């Protein structure tokens, strides 16, 4: 991986204390932990591999002069004390992965945040505000199908009953897995922090989409993080013999579902430019070759960075399901099974990120939404947040083929550094 990263690297990007080769070496070192036969990585939450990755980064943090601790949820916190340490600014991401994931989703955000501290050390800079590099536990949620665990603990946004009900694919309960890692629900509660002294959190992440690639830009500024609303929709008709039931005497639930799915696609652009809707799961009953489908159950994932427009789209999709069912003479049942409020990035934080981008790399600013959830979503309910996206090759993510060039990664670090210097009260020469 190192040779591939360095192959076309522009050495002129190694400046102002930021070292592209160091970043490449560290991305490569992390990629070896939990490496799969397909060339991806498997660092599932609360696994030895996740902890090994954390400990490797903790060693680098200490070398950079940070004071390093691990809290009761397993989050890693590396602290660089400022000259006025009563206020703090945070940056970071995660190192866990999906079962056969890529090498940039999460680690880039952690190593970018650490690279800023390394650059300041090289330049002899001490921030005014205290700076913290964070590694959040279990962002992906691959083990318990419930992610953002570390940021939930740090912000106090979790419920013990809900966590206690979780179990992994091997049948281990969430509580027993905590115990295996010398953690507990009590330690989780103790991981909650007082955010009244934390001024901002900045997260770098790969885009996981193609917008920046289409714009031919290395870095983008996130406007907000979409919150999902999931609808379970059940179309209920009547099963029957495929040969003996005339076409004009059928109550085919799959025909209704098909019309519904096709119509869902055209609704989001009518609501807003940042809303999306996806039918990604569909179950047909009785699912026989020669049987008219009597029931179809499906789930609609509806997202937007604006809660009002997301809810407007949800209501339109709900009405559509009812209208299709009525037109086809069948029944429909609809239930909202998830509702997560989106998090908007404040305009001031977007503006500061835009100024940092212009000053650091002189590129055109491009603003885009995040359709995926991130730890910044949890933290953003407690303090100001900003997110920077790094261009993803072909938009591929959660896949061994996930890739961002070293040039794009280092340009992102320069923007992050400029933004953090603004937030931490560091004044440097233009």
Give the model confidence (pLDDT) of 22-65 as tens digits: 999 999 999 999 999 999 999 999 999 999 999 999 999 999 99
CA-to-CA distance for 220 and 391, rounded, in angstroms?
A: 8
Share of the chain above pLDDT 90, in %: 95
Q: Fold match between 2-226+342-423 and 231-339?
A: no
- More reliable by pLDDT, 77 or 371: 77
What is the pLDDT at residue 430?
44
Domain spans, the chain: 2-226+342-423, 231-339
What is the pLDDT at residue 85?
87
Structure confidence by residue, pLDDT tens digits, 230-268: 999 999 999 999 999 999 999 999 999 999 999 999 999
Q: Is 384 annotated as a binding residue?
A: no
Structure confidence by residue, pLDDT tens digits, 171-213: 999 999 999 999 999 999 999 999 999 999 999 999 999 999 9
Average pLDDT of 372-386?
A: 95
What is the pLDDT at residue 427?
79
Structure confidence by residue, pLDDT tens digits, 127-184: 999 999 999 999 999 999 888 999 999 999 999 999 999 999 899 999 999 999 999 9
- SS3 state at 174: helix
DSSP letter for each residue of 357-396: HHHHH-PPP-EEEE-S--HHHHHTTTSEEEEEEEP-GGG-
Structure confidence by residue, pLDDT tens digits, 331-355: 999 999 888 889 999 999 999 999 9
Q: Is 205 annotated as a binding residue?
A: yes
What the block records as the tokens of 141 is 């949620």
Beta bridge pairs of residue 367: 221
Ordered strands of the 227-236 beta sheet: 276-285, 295-304, 227-236, 331-339
Helix (H) or strand (E) holding 337: strand 331-339
DSSP letter for each residue of 94-130: E----TTB-SSTTHHHHHHHHHHHHHHHHHT---SSE
- More reliable by pLDDT, 53 or 373: 53
The answer to whether residue 367 scores a pLDDT higher than 90 is yes
DSSP letter for each residue of 197-255: GEEEEEEEEE-SSSHHHHHT-SEEEEEEEPEEEEEEEEEE---EETTTS-GGG---HHH
Domain 2-226+342-423 carries which CATH code?
3.40.630.10
Q: Binning pLDDT at 50, 70 and 90, where does residue 428 land?
A: low
Q: Is 374 annotated as a binding residue?
A: no
The answer to whether residue 420 scores a pLDDT higher than 50 is yes
The answer to whether residue 429 scores a pLDDT higher than 70 is no
Q: Is 94 annotated as a binding residue?
A: yes
Q: Does domain 231-339 have CATH number 2.130.10.30?
A: no
> pTM of the full predicted structure?
0.90
Q: Which residue has tokens 């360095």?
A: 6
Output the CA–CA distances (angstroms, integers) from residue 238 to 130, 248, 250, 321, 324, in the order listed. 65, 13, 7, 17, 16
Structure confidence by residue, pLDDT tens digits, 294-313: 999 999 999 999 999 999 99
Q: Is 105 annotated as a binding residue?
A: yes
């Amino acid at each position: 991986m190192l040779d591939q990263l360095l192959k076309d690297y522009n050495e002129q990007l190694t400046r102002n204390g930021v070292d592209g080769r160091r970043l490449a070496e560290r991305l490569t070192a992390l990629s070896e932990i939990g490496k799969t036969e397909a060339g991806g990585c498997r660092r599932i939450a609360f696994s030895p591999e996740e902890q090994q990755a954390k400990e490797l980064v903790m060693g680098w943090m200490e070398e950079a002069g940070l004071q390093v601790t691990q809290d009761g949820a397993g989050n890693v916190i590396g602290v660089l004390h400022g000259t006025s340490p009563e206020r703090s600014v945070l940056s970071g991401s995660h190192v866990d992965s999906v079962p056969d994931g890529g090498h940039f989703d999460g680690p880039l955000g952690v190593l970018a945040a650490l690279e800023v501290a390394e650059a300041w050390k090289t330049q002899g800079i001490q921030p005014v505000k205290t700076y913290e590099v964070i590694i959040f536990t279990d962002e992906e949620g691959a083990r318990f199908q419930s992610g953002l665990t570390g940021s939930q603990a740090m912000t106090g946004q979790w419920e013990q009953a809900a966590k206690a009900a979780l179990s992994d694919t091997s049948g281990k309960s969430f509580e027993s897995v905590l115990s295996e890692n010398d953690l507990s629900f009590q330690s989780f509660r103790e991981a909650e922090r007082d955010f009244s002294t934390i001024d901002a959190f900045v997260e770098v992440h790969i885009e996981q989409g193609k917008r920046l690639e289409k714009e031919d830009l290395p870095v983008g500024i996130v406007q907000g993080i979409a919150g999902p609303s999931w609808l379970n929709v059940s179309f209920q008709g009547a099963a029957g013999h495929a040969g003996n039931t005339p076409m004009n005497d059928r109550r085919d639930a799959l025909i209704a579902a098909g019309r519904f799915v096709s119509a869902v696609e055209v609704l989001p652009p009518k609501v807003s430019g940042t809303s999306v809707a996806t039918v990604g799961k569909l179950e047909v009953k009785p699912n026989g070759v020669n049987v008219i489908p009597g029931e179809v159950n499906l789930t609609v994932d509806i997202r937007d960075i604006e809660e009002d427009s997301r809810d407007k789209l949800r209501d339109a999709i709900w009405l559509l399901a009812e209208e299709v069912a009525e037109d086809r003479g069948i029944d429909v049942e609809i239930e909202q099974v998830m509702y997560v409020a989106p998090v908007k990035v404040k305009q001031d934080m977007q503006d500061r990120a835009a100024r940092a981008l212009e000053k650091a790399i002189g590129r055109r600013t491009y603003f885009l939404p995040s359709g995926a959830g991130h730890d910044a979503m949890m933290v953003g309910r407690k303090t100001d947040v900003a997110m920077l996206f790094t261009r993803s090759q072909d938009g591929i993510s959660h896949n061994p083929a996930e890739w961002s060039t070293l040039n794009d990664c280092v340009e992102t670090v320069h923007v992050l550094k400029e933004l953090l210097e603004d937030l931490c009260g560091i004044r440097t020469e233009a």
